Amino acid sequence: MSLDNVNHGELLALRDTLRSFAAARGWQAYHTPKNLVMALIVEAAELVEHFQWLSGEESLTLPAEKLTAVREEVADVLIYLIELADVLQIDLHAAARDKIARNALKYPAPD
């Protein structure tokens, strides 16, 4: 599924899947905001490693094996972000829309 096809309901379904996954393993006690933020930054750093010495052009044309590894790290980052938002009761969809609206005011498009 491409990002073009994702809707708010699918984001909520993913959140629910992650809740069930953690509950089945008894991980809820460990999913505090502090722990989730720490895990998120670790996964983001692992994502950065794949791009660390690449040129801008090279980063746009990743070999299949590298793209697969990047895909896994992107998934880890998304998972921890969704779990963090869930624990803090942040609606990611609404938060992103609100932030885009604020950025549009702060950085208006040139005429």
pLDDT of residue 1: 45
The reply to whether 16 falls in a domain is yes
Residue carrying the six token digits 């720490």:
38
The length of the chain is 111
**Tens-digit pLDDT profile for residues 1-20:** 456 666 778 989 999 999 99
The reply to whether 19 falls in a domain is yes
Using CB atoms within 10 Å of the CB of residue 50, give its burial: 0 to 12 exposed, 13 to 18 middle, 19+ buried.
Answer: middle
Give CA–CA dist 39/43, Å, rounded. 6
Amino acid code (one letter) for 110: P
Task: Summarize the confidence of residues 20-26 as an average pLDDT.
Answer: 97
Instruction: Supply the pTM of this predicted model.
Output: 0.89
The reply to whether 13 falls in a domain is yes
Give CA–CA dist 40/79, Å, rounded. 8
Give CA–CA dist 35/22, Å, rounded. 14
Tell me how many degrees the CA angle 36-68-24 measures, rounded to the nearest 5: 40
How many structural domains compose the chain?
1
Give the domain extent around 15.
3-106
**Tens-digit pLDDT profile for residues 63-84:** 999 999 999 999 999 999 999 9
Domain with residue 41: its CATH number is 1.10.287.1080
